[in-house]
Amino acid sequence: MLRVPGVEIYNILCPLFWDKLEDFFDAVHSVQRLPQPLTVVRDPEDNKILESALVAEADYLISSDRDLLILESYDEVEIVTPEVFWNKYSDSKGGGWQEWVGQIMNM
């Protein structure tokens, strides 16, 4: 069983659970690299993450990586810790983590 406080309980062996999980992953897509790789932070792997956020036109890049967090934002992407993101999400949507998980499970 998958148990998330305030959200329906799903038996992971249930076909409905797998259908919802498949729907979620169907919504995920890969992004292409930028024509000119970034060299914004010292770690090339961090630059790849930042590139992905830019190409995907993400609003947020959620990370605990200090090299990324020190930027605070890059182009139109706000770089925040998971805690900061959940606080913002909770403030704007009213339910935070539980609501977000509920939305994913109800896709």
Residues 3-32: pLDDT tens digits?
A: 555 555 555 566 776 777 787 778 777 778
Q: In this predicted structure, what is the pLDDT of residue 41? A: 93
Give the residue ranges of the chain where pLDDT is below 70. 1-14, 17, 90-107
**Cβ distance 68 to 44 under 8 Å?**
no
Please give the single-letter amino acid code of residue 3. R
Element (H, E) at 73: strand 73-74
Q: In this predicted structure, what is the pLDDT of residue 49? A: 93
